[in-house]
Structure 1
Amino acid sequence: MDLEAVRTFVTVVDAGRFQAAAADLGVTQQAVSKRVAALEKALGAQLFTRTARGAELTIDGRAFLPHARELLRVAERALASVRPGRRALRVDVIASRVAASGLMREFHRAHPEFELDVLMLFDIEAAVAAVRSGEIDASFRAVSAPGRPLPGDVESVRVLDEPLQLLTGPAHALAGARSVTLAQLAGHRIWMPGLVPGTEWAAYYDDLVAEFGLTIEATGPNFGSDALLDTIADTPALATFMGEHTRLVWPDGHGLRRIPVIDPTPVYPHSLIWRRDNPQPALAALREHLAAPRPGGSEDPVGPEGRTWTPAWARRR
């Protein structure tokens, strides 16, 4: 479909007359008439009737008008997606309540001039493929998991080491503790139904279990964070891990406890990944924003004497 003809049709509707539409478009009235006639021929329907008051829509014209406006909106979005400085910055944050989502909210507050498109991909393979294809501009991930080095055209930088906390219900044996050590957690059941084998977060917890002799159960369906909180609140034998920056709200009656884990503090290594040759101006601004010092950044000491733990594959050289 000829978008110029569609644009001319909408302009005639808004202007009310062919002559006024011609003036708005900067063309002759004859050109407007030809474009509308060509559109009517393509559609097989008459769109206007001419009256003394101007051009009035037919029944078919009124039916076509909302679709014509949507076609023009889609065309504008398509142009903006490749127009320098106009395309929205597309960033994968994995989930809406996690630390990466919080980092993007901070960036939006600091740089409201940039349009953002935040989405959530499932695993690192999908994220890296989307970064390489240009489908997204960046992704927050823990990289690189064992056996999964990043491709040469993808770059990454560590942006946040997020401390883990233990979440318990009010009747759990550790509910009254101000902090717990990893050694104290040995023998306690930690339930994390969202752990999916093959993902980078599953690799992280596999190494944590192996090094400190913990018991993490990933059994049962994952019904989301609300169902997880309900179960933890009602089951004294269960606890779960969550990031310090994960934002959760639960009912007052749950009485849940968020307890710091120390000696050492396990931290989840969030990195930003992007394609090296991506010219998106907002991406450069995001990288600069994340590089600025802030509370909870990857350089901050965590726990007693700053002792932290990450898997060997995530440690800096």
Structure 2
Amino acid sequence: MELRQLAYFVAVADEGGFGRAAERLHIVQPAVSQQVGRLERELGAPLFDRSKRQVRLTEAGQRLLPEARAVLAAADRARRAVTGSADATTLRIGVSRAPGQRLYAMLERLAPALRVRLIKMEKPAERLAAVRSGELDAALVRLVEAAPGLELFPAWTDPLVVALPAGHPLAAQPQVRLEQLGDLPVRLAPRENNPAFHDLVTGSLAEAGVRPPRGPEFTGLHDTLVDLASGPPSWTLFYPVFDDLPPVRGVAYVPLAGPEAPTYAAVPPGPPSAQVRQLLEALR
């Protein structure tokens, strides 16, 4: 069993296919298939079900995946322990495209000698995969309750914001509850765009006992807000990805009284490196 085989196996599991894994690894697909096949022969069990269009883990593959991630993370820590002091003074953090002031306030609590590299990756899954592979020391992710092969530490929570027509009676209130929005059409993005946030919203609506009618889809922040201002009355919900919400004529922003969006720091398992330890202390 080789580290390379485990790395290829994890890449296929993360990407859901041999072709996409090869693209991520910057190698040809036959090389990935060959190494995974050797690993399967070494272990005496198939790791992937290749009978369908999408490659899926077998039961044996599901059992191997967390162990493979742990082995790769341990190997990366061992490698970095020998590479010299340069790596020990740099903290690589995966963030979204709009990190916000909460992150920068946390960074101010780090030691001045620690250099910080913020690496922007749009999808949380990409950030988590980069931590598993050793490309990142840590990643900040919202609404992620589990990250196999990694440890999650609470960072902060963000209140949710309701956007609705400025002329609506609720727009003048200091806060709004989901129960008050049950009769107004809601604009949500398709679940596949952001499953965690979609589930947070729909689950919170169910807990509040309301089923608002579905309005047009949430296509993008600016386009949706402009349409909300000029179209039939409706509302949408989001966590503030920017520190200053974009001003749109005819749209009001009202804080939501209720669910919040938690952010977590995802780090490799086991004893933290010096850089990660500083990050966790700053979060506390």
Common fold by TM > 0.5: yes
Once residues 218 and 184 of structure 1 are traced to their aligned partners in structure 2, the CA distance between those partners, rounded to angstroms, is 16
Q: Assess if the C-alpha contact under 8 Å between 2:218 and 2:224 holds in 1.
A: no
Task: Map 1:7-156; keep pairs closer than 5 Å.
Answer: 83-86=84-87, 88-96=90-98, 100-111=99-110, 112-142=112-142, 144-145=144-145, 149-151=146-148, 153-156=149-152
Q: Percent identity, aligned pairs only? A: 20
Once residues 188 and 278 of structure 2 are traced to their aligned partners in structure 1, the CA distance between those partners, rounded to angstroms, is 35
Matched, 1:287 2:280: yes
Change (3 A) 1:232 1:85: farther
By how many angstroms is 1:150 displaced? 2.9
Once residues 101 and 91 of structure 2 are traced to their aligned partners in structure 1, the CA distance between those partners, rounded to angstroms, is 16
Which string of whole-angstrom CA distances, capped at 9 and with x for unpartnered residues, describes residues 248-296 of structure 1? 3434x6153221222xx111122111102475433222211111xxxxx
By how many angstroms is 1:180 displaced? 1.7
Q: Assess if the C-alpha contact under 8 Å between 1:123 and 1:200 holds in 2.
A: no
Q: Out of 179, 183, 187, which is 1:187 matched to?
A: 183
Structure 2 residue ranges without an equivalent (≥5): 1-79
Aligned residue number for residue 215 of structure 1: 212
Once residues 133 and 202 of structure 1 are traced to their aligned partners in structure 2, the CA distance between those partners, rounded to angstroms, is 28
Q: Assess if the C-alpha contact under 8 Å between 2:100 and 2:241 holds in 1.
A: no
Once residues 205 and 232 of structure 2 are traced to their aligned partners in structure 1, the CA distance between those partners, rounded to angstroms, is 21
Q: Out of 236, 240, 243, which is 2:236 matched to?
A: 240
Q: Assess if the C-alpha contact under 8 Å between 2:186 and 2:212 holds in 1.
A: yes
Change (3 A) 1:122 1:244: closer
Once residues 227 and 113 of structure 1 are traced to their aligned partners in structure 2, the CA distance between those partners, rounded to angstroms, is 43
Give the SS at the match of 2:205. Answer: helix
**Structure 2 residue identity aligned to 1:183:** E
Q: Out of 265, 268, 278, which is 2:261 matched to?
A: 268
TM-score (norm 2): 0.58
By how many angstroms is 1:161 displaced? 2.4
Q: Assess if the C-alpha contact under 8 Å between 1:229 and 1:250 holds in 2.
A: no
**Structure 2 residue identity aligned to 1:215:** P
Give the SS at the match of 2:172. Answer: coil
Q: Assess if the C-alpha contact under 8 Å between 1:181 and 1:261 holds in 2.
A: yes
Once residues 218 and 126 of structure 1 are traced to their aligned partners in structure 2, the CA distance between those partners, rounded to angstroms, is 31
Once residues 129 and 123 of structure 1 are traced to their aligned partners in structure 2, the CA distance between those partners, rounded to angstroms, is 10
**Structure 2 residue identity aligned to 1:84:** S
Aligned residue number for residue 3 of structure 2: none
Aligned residue number for residue 158 of structure 2: 162
Q: Which has the higher helix share?
A: 2
Change (3 A) 1:90 1:201: farther
Give the SS at the match of 2:108. Answer: helix
Give the SS at the match of 1:228. Answer: helix
Change (3 A) 1:227 1:271: same
Change (3 A) 1:216 1:170: same
Aligned residue number for residue 315 of structure 1: none
Change (3 A) 1:281 1:166: same
Once residues 256 and 156 of structure 1 are traced to their aligned partners in structure 2, the CA distance between those partners, rounded to angstroms, is 36
Number of positions where the alignment pairs a residue of Structure 1 with one of Structure 2: 200
What is the RMSD of the two structures over their aligned residues, measured on CA atoms? 3.2
Which deviates further from its counterpart, 177-186 or 197-206?
A: 197-206
